[in-house]
Structure 1
């Protein structure tokens, strides 16, 4: 059992309760705060092992909180957002977060991300269970499958990160283009197909028989996470 302490900061009780239940099932201790204003006073007396921090919070927003926490603490932080326009900022993790997750999400995916971040931040001589399946580390622009690194170009990585943030969601080529930042001006509508083809080939090389990125005829592409 882990006995690591996870702080959930989210103003939606239902989400916090579900995530807390999954964490406790995995042996973690979970605490919950529903207000951004309550976080800094709470952290003055309690030191969690990781903070799951929603972007949209009453009183003090998650982005401001992340910067405030980073001014005094290196505690791992995973940001949670439901706003598509925050994805580019969170992909760069310019605010000091360790990772991000987009709503809606699977509670099992949240637990897997928490384990991955704790494992990366574990002191020498300690360990978290080995990462399994496909893991996307947005902060380091690294994708792993069962611990094997997948050599992706920046464009391929960002396409994977965007689609993997919403498993099952169908993206048109135009929508995928919209998610690419100004640094990707060489990517045009139909060239998305070429980048996706290369991405799928690299994923298939490390995970034979698993089709993570699926074509949706006449529309575009979607990401499906293998169980």
Structure 2
């Protein structure tokens, strides 16, 4: 079955162009003009990904993104005419998986859609939980299912939170610079501030209370473990 993508954009021209490109690639597409319409779709026929504009009538994109993240880690690509760094940081901090500034090439958006789907694809894999298991102290990761357990309790994490936790777990006790983390978690084409790294670490520490995710002052972070 083809992936279902919800496009939330109040500009009809952009909606139609993006929709046409995605449909040509075989995706099932729903086009919506407001956050309220998008939320109705979420409750009846939830998409596998959102392409979300920030400047919307009524419920704006930030508010919609926040509401979705309270329920799911479904991928969200934010598109916006706002190109200020603070807007990008806010969008990513609220749980966006990528941020694209208008005007943009539909081909670039398509490439990002494919890249994000590729990154989260293992979430749908149906394999035995015993396969791909990684344990670090009180942290347990089932890689094939992209599931995180902390002190025996499953935690809801976003795609980027999972990617960063897995990276640290696979390289415990190794210090990563903020620049390295940007490349490995956000990709080489990300041009935002390394503050996004600090914000993501803050969210992980909040969810996995007591995790030994240490700050390496003036450099970056590492996951301290006694397992090695």
With the shorter chain as reference, the TM-score category is 0.5 to 0.7
The structure-2 alpha-carbon separation of the partners of 1:112 and 1:138, relative to structure 1 and needing over 3 Å to count, comes to farther
Are 2:40 and 1:11 equivalent residues in the alignment? no
| Alpha-carbon displacement from aligned partner over 1:96-147 (angstroms, at most 9, x marks no partner) | 1111111111001101111111111113649xxxxxxxxxx99879xxxxxx
Shift in Å, 1:88: 3.3
| Alpha-carbon displacement from aligned partner over 1:34-56 (angstroms, at most 9, x marks no partner) | 11222212211011110000011
Shift in Å, 1:81: 1.3
User: What is the aligned partner in structure 2 of residue 161 from structure 1?
Assistant: 190
Shift in Å, 1:161: 3.3
User: What is the aligned partner in structure 1 of residue 118 from structure 2?
Assistant: 119
Shift in Å, 1:160: 6.1
In structure 2, C-alpha distance between the alignment counterparts of 1:120 and 1:160, rounded to whole Å: 15
The structure-2 alpha-carbon separation of the partners of 1:13 and 1:3, relative to structure 1 and needing over 3 Å to count, comes to same
Q: Is the 8 A contact 1:8 1:33 kept in 2?
A: yes
The structure-2 alpha-carbon separation of the partners of 1:13 and 1:160, relative to structure 1 and needing over 3 Å to count, comes to same
| 5+ long unaligned stretches in structure 2 | 127-158, 165-175, 198-228
In structure 2, C-alpha distance between the alignment counterparts of 1:101 and 1:90, rounded to whole Å: 9
1:42-57 to structure 2, matched below 5 A, reads 42-57=41-56
2:86 is aligned, of 85, 88, 105, to: 88
Q: Which runs of 4+ in 1 moved over 2 A?
A: 87-92, 123-126, 137-141, 151-163
Shift in Å, 1:84: 2.1
The structure-2 alpha-carbon separation of the partners of 1:55 and 1:8, relative to structure 1 and needing over 3 Å to count, comes to same
Matched length: 146
TM-score under structure 2 length normalisation: 0.55
The structure-2 alpha-carbon separation of the partners of 1:152 and 1:13, relative to structure 1 and needing over 3 Å to count, comes to farther
1:72-83 to structure 2, matched below 5 A, reads 72-83=71-82
User: What is the aligned partner in structure 2 of residue 101 from structure 1?
Assistant: 100
